[in-house]
Amino acid sequence: MADYPEKVDFELVAPERLLVSRTVDMVVVPGSEGDFGVLPGHTPLISSVRAGVIDVYDENTVDERIFVSGGFAEVTGERCTVLAPEAVPVSEIDRGEVEARIKRAREDIEDAADAAERSAAEDRLRLAEAMLAHAP
Amino acid sequence: MPSLKDLRNRIGSVKKTQKITSAMKMVAAAKLRRAQEQAEAARPYAERMERVLGSLAESLQGRDGAPPLLAGTGRDQTVLLVVMTSDRGLCGGFNSSIVRRARALIRELQKKGKTIKILCVGRKGRDQLRRDYGALIVETIDEVGRPVLTYEDARRVRSRIMELFEAGEFDMCTLLYNEFRSAISQIVTELQLIPFAVAPTEEEEAQPAASEGASAVYEFEPDEEEILADLLPRNVSVQIFRALLESNASEQGARMTAMDNATRNAGEMIDKLTLNYNRSRQAQITKELIEIISGAEAV
């Protein structure tokens, strides 16, 4: 293990831009099969990510908490890359706005013309609810 | 010989045109900067997506039951061309170079006996292709990226393509777009979208042996198939998004250059017309003087 660095390069990327790129002690990622922590020297892993919060640990404290709407994580011994369609720092989640989103999604489910529209609206509802659960 | 008044009018109208073109240039320059930033910001995601997908595809190679997005439908009879152009004109050779390439490609594929279908993104491409290949155009998607290009636009294009794919309307899909190099150079690029083509990354080209060992040991959670089934459609929209961004930046770059040229040409024309105008004005004054003098002599 000696040849692994002491820290992990953590990157969080959204389609529109690179959100976070920094070196940290540990990252806890909400994987679809359960949360997993990434320390230096982790086994190479590709996992899907469910909607939830990524905890970034640095200097023995939780340094940053970021809500992601899903996506993928690629882990190697040196780095951890998370690809997420949407990501917001937990401190910036706006309760009112999320509640409005839930309401809109509920309305969309009722007005949905076909199955595809309905399931898209249901996805939006689930996402907004997950977001609300983590809102400050 | 145009009269003085005609010349004055023409100078006036060219000046007005020049004002318009220079304003358009300014607008394009501002938009270009934003589009360029956006395109650059989106690059990391697409790159990392490709890396993950590359290692996935590698570990799945040779296995049966790969999803059709990766393995294709097993045929290559019908090709869907996605031609990305702009909605508006006045941007130099931007649209015509894409259309020219599309025409060449269609001819080539038709010679091989393939069936072609065209999906136009942007009105200008449709307008130009309609004349020769109107029957092949399946659909046109316009008003993309207005007012600002977002991931939603890519999803819109993606969902249309996927609908056609799931309905078995085509076997292969190729994107045709302008890749942005600089404000004066855009490169027409073909990208095979479906089935997914593993492009060798630069790293791999440099040291093929090392990367083979590294990428073969990934663990997958849940399993490869499930991740792949989720990742492939995403990859399609990411690639479309990247193409849209590149195309958008190219459009603004091409427009800026075209409008810069137009402004300069208008300036030259104004100079020439002004010279002409002054010459005829002086000729007229001389003529009038001669008339007065010879009239006075006659008395």
From B91, B118, B172, B256, the catalytic residue? B91
B86 to chain A, closest Cα gap in Å: 21
Query: pLDDT tens string for chain B (299 positions)?
Result: 688 899 999 999 999 999 999 999 999 999 999 999 988 888 888 888 888 887 777 777 666 666 777 777 777 888 899 999 999 888 888 999 999 999 999 999 999 988 899 999 989 989 999 988 888 888 888 887 777 888 888 888 888 888 888 888 888 899 999 988 888 888 998 888 888 776 544 444 444 433 444 445 678 878 777 888 888 888 888 889 989 999 999 999 999 999 999 999 999 999 999 999 999 999 999 999 999 999 999 88
Task: Pick from A18, A46, A79 the residue to mutate for testing the B interface (most B CBs within 10 Å).
Answer: A46
- Is B248 in contact with B175 (CB distance < 8 Å)? no
Secondary-structure breakdown of chain A: helix, strand, coil percentages, each rounded to the nearest 5 = 30, 40, 30
Domain boundaries, chain A: 8-90, 93-133
A74 to chain B, closest Cα gap in Å: 7
Instruction: List chain B residues with CB under 8 Å of A17.
Output: 41-42, 44-45
Instruction: List chain A residues with CB under 8 Å of B38.
Output: 16
Out of A14, A15, A48, whose CB is closest to B227?
Answer: A48
- In the residue annotation, B173 being an active-site residue is answered as no
Statement: B36-198+218-256 belongs to CATH 3.40.50.300: no
Domain boundaries, chain B: 36-198+218-256
A37 interfacial to chain B (CB closer than 8 Å): no
Q: How far apart are CA B103 and CA B100, in angstroms?
A: 5
Torsion of CA B199, B203, B205, B207, to 10 degrees: -140
Q: Which CATH superfamily is domain A8-90 in?
A: F0F1 ATP synthase delta/epsilon subunit, N-terminal (2.60.15.10)
Out of B44, B56, B230, whose CB is closest to A13?
Answer: B44
Tell me, rounded to whole angstroms, the distance of Cα B116 from its chain centroid.
Answer: 20
Within a 10 A sphere around the Cβ of B186, how many other Cβ atoms? 26
Largest CA distance in chain B: 113
Cβ contact A44–B219 (<8 Å):
yes
Return all residues near B51 (Cβ < 8 A) that are at least 6 apart.
A74, B201
- A61's tokens: 């404290």
Cβ contact A15–B45 (<8 Å):
yes
- Is A66 in contact with A124 (CB distance < 8 Å)? no
Cβ contact A48–B150 (<8 Å):
no
Point out which residues pair with B119 in neighbouring strands: B82, B139
Using DSSP's 3-state secondary structure scheme, residue A18 falls into strand
The DSSP H or E segment spanning A101 is helix A95-111
Cβ contact A44–B221 (<8 Å):
no
